[in-house]
Structure 1
Amino acid sequence: MRLFILGLGYSARHFVRLFGGGFSHIAGTVRDPAQRGDLAGIEVYPFSGGSRDRRTVQRISDADVLLISIPPGNAGDPAIAAFPDVLAADRRRRIIYLSTIGVYGDHAGGWVDESTPPQASLDRTRMRVAAEQAWTDTSGGNAAILRLAGIYGPGRNALVTLRAGTARSIIKPGQVFNRVHVDDIASAIMAAVRHPNGGLWNVCDDEPAPPQDVIAYAAKLMNVAPPPEEAFEIAEMSPMARSFYASSARVSNTKLKRELGVTLAYATYRHALDTLWRAGEGR
């Protein structure tokens, strides 16, 4: 199988590290090919929306699997806008689109699943809903839409932010949300690649929790004091950071386990942080 990735970000790169051996060829896009980082062995092409590269068009045409992790913009999904003819030419390829559980909106801490209609109140989540539909239409209904929870893993977790002194305990009563370790995202992507049909699946852990609980647990592992609590109403935050507290929901992953057969490596943040701490994170 030949894999092409639109947007070689944190989750996509981790997927390649864990499952890249299952593909005969891997290529993908980044905004700046000079910033290759850990992309050895992957053909890298520039793409930041707008104009398209001839070699990128060819690689998309050749791909058996297309993984999309580029967020949509005000004008819609940039990849669909740039490559409509290439994408429409072959609907047999497997399309995996990485979306977000943020599309469910605020449910005051109540449970939601894939049958819950999107309730997107923010511009960026409305654009996500539109992008999900666009990829579903482009694929003739055969796209796998993976709605990801809050992403964390090596180099990106509460242990790291505590050690850096940037962690905060923002208290908003009743606020809960799910998370997902990047290893489990990779497993979900591979399961979707192998699944014969398109569909919609939540990719999240078993235990939605208040954000301050995660910080407190990480601080306990590190034997340091957690940061002082700050009331959400008066805490100084950017509009983007504040917007992440606009919704509170408990998201079910039952369908992910039942239909895609995914067994989570890290069903709770505690298990994941224990493993990351043992691996040296935050030290």
Structure 2
Amino acid sequence: MTDAPGKTLLSLGHGYSARALAARIAPEGWTVIGTTRSAEKLEAGHAEMHLWPGTDLAPLAARASHVLLNAGPTEEGDPFLPEIGSILAETRPDWIGYLSTTGVYGDHSGEWVDEETPLTPSTRRGEMRLQAESAWQSLAATHGLPLHIFRLAGIYGPGRGPFTKVRAGTARRIIKPGQVFSRIHVEDIAQVLAASMARPDPGAIYNLCDDDPAPPQDVIAHAAELLGLPVPEAIPFEEAELTPMARSFYAESKRVRNDRIKRDLGVELLFPTYREGLGALLRDA
């Protein structure tokens, strides 16, 4: 990314993906301002952190040339929209990014989806994300704001991988025939966001995923093989004890296309499949 001097990113709900972005752009001269609900996270690296709720967002937004919306919605909607929406209509940043999920596409029985696929979420979480997307799109349309939506597949990266459970012997290879998931390494999320910030395209929607949608049991098996440990025993989905959250992930199966980030943003994935991603995590651990 170029032309960083004078660029300031306001990261609302400064979480895992946003921290990776901050680590990427701060050395290039960007100022990063983040918000968190947790006092324990006020020391996040590469960012000037503020507690929210409790901090007036208007002065922070006035400093921001770019705004990243990271927070997940609740039953009441996006937590930041009621306060920050009218503020952004006044400050008019150069770029706004909203981190959504590929869950808005719903279940497609393992078939391919892209950004033009009709949105038919099959879980409540997916429905709330779609409602939040729509609310931000409505605000952007009303005020001419440069909104970009990023639909993220399953995120993994440092501190978020299968190795700990495989080493502990608690990893499970749950088999549901035909089940596939798409994934994305957090460093690839960061590079896509940085590429979009360098090349704004208001109204654009991007899928963020790698090139190899795969059954979850294959990822666990590969992690075990990398560690030189036995591959965990296969458990039929019908027999697996799962939390409601975990079970909901298996309610949807689809392969997500990522052509747009490559074509429109010139992105070359750092980790095009989970094999490269897991290998790097193990090397860097």
TM-score by length of 1: 0.92
Match of 2:55 in 1: 53
Aligned match for 1:36, one of 27, 37, 42: 42
Q: Once the two structures are superposed, what CA deviation does each residue of 1:136-159 show, in whole Å capped at 9, x if it has no partner?
A: 222336211011111001111122
Equivalent in the alignment of 1:13: 19
Q: Do the aligned partners of residues 213 and 75 (structure 1) sit closer, same or farther apart at CA in structure 2, a change above 3 Å counting? A: same
Q: Supply the AA of the counterpart residue of 1:145.
A: I
| Equivalent residue for 1:3, pick from 5, 9, 28 | 9
Aligned-partner Cα distance in 2 for 1:221–1:196: 39
2:230 is equivalent to residue 197 of structure 1: no
Tell me the equivalent position of 1:94: 95
- The alpha-carbon deviation at position 36 of structure 1 amounts to 3.1
Shift of 1:197: 1.5
The answer for the alignment partner of 2:117 in structure 1 is 116
For 2:30 and 2:241, locate their aligned partners in 1 and report how far apart those are by CA, in whole Å. Answer: 49
Answering whether residue 175 of structure 2 is matched by residue 171 of structure 1, we say yes
Assess if the C-alpha contact under 8 Å between 2:104 and 2:121 holds in 1: yes
1:79 is aligned to 80
2:39 counterpart SS class:
coil
Per-residue deviation at 1:23?
A: 4.3
Alignment correspondent of 2:3: none
The SS at the match of 1:18 is: helix
Which letter maps to 1:148? L
Query: 3-state DSSP class of the match of 1:212?
Result: helix
Partner of 1:66: 67
Q: How far apart, CA to CA, are the structure 2 residues paired with 1:6 and 1:23?
A: 20
**Aligned ranges for residues 255-270 of structure 1 at < 5 Å?**
255-270=260-275
In 2, Cα distance between equivalents of 1:82 and 1:243: 31
Cα displacement string for residues 65-100 of structure 1 (whole angstroms, at most 9, x for unaligned residues): 001110011011110022232122133431011111
- Cα offset for 1:260? 1.1
Q: Which aligned pairs between 1:132-281 and structure 2 lie closer than 5 A?
A: 132-139=133-140, 140=144, 142-198=146-202, 199-280=204-285
1:253-283 CA distance string (max 9 Å, x none): 0011001111100001111112222223xxx
Q: What is the alpha-carbon distance in structure 1 between the residues aligned to residue 162 and residue 265 of structure 2?
A: 29
- CA distance, structure 2, for counterparts of residue 208 and residue 110 of structure 1: 10
**Worse overlay, 26-35 or 85-94:** 85-94
Question: Could you tell me whether the CA contact under 8 Å between 2:26 and 2:46 is conserved in 1?
Answer: no
How does the TM-score come out when normalised to structure 2?
A: 0.92
| C-alpha distance in 2 between matches for 1:86 and 1:73 | 21
Aligned pairs, number: 275
Tell me, which stretches of 5 or more residues in structure 1 are unaligned? none
CA contact (8 A) 1:72 1:131 kept: yes
AA aligned opposite 2:33: A
Root mean square deviation of aligned Cα: 1.5
- Where do 5+ consecutive residues of structure 2 fail to align? 1-6
For residue 243 of structure 1, what is the amino acid of its counterpart? S
Partners in 1 of 2:38 and 2:93 — Cα distance?
30
Aligned in 2, Cα 1:164/1:143: closer, same or farther, shift over 3 Å?
farther
Larger deviation, residues 168-177 vs 76-85: 76-85
Contact 2:104–2:120 (CA<8 Å) still a contact in 1?
A: yes
Percent identity reads 46
After TM superposition, the structure 1 stretch with the greater mean CA deviation from structure 2, 157-166 or 103-112, is: 157-166
Q: CA deviation at 1:34?
A: 3.5
Q: Tell me what 2:4 maps to.
A: none
Alignment partners' CA distance in 1, 2:46 and 2:210: 31
Partner Cα separation in structure 1 for residue 226 and residue 168 of structure 2: 15
The 2-side partners of 1:43 and 1:222 are apart by: 38
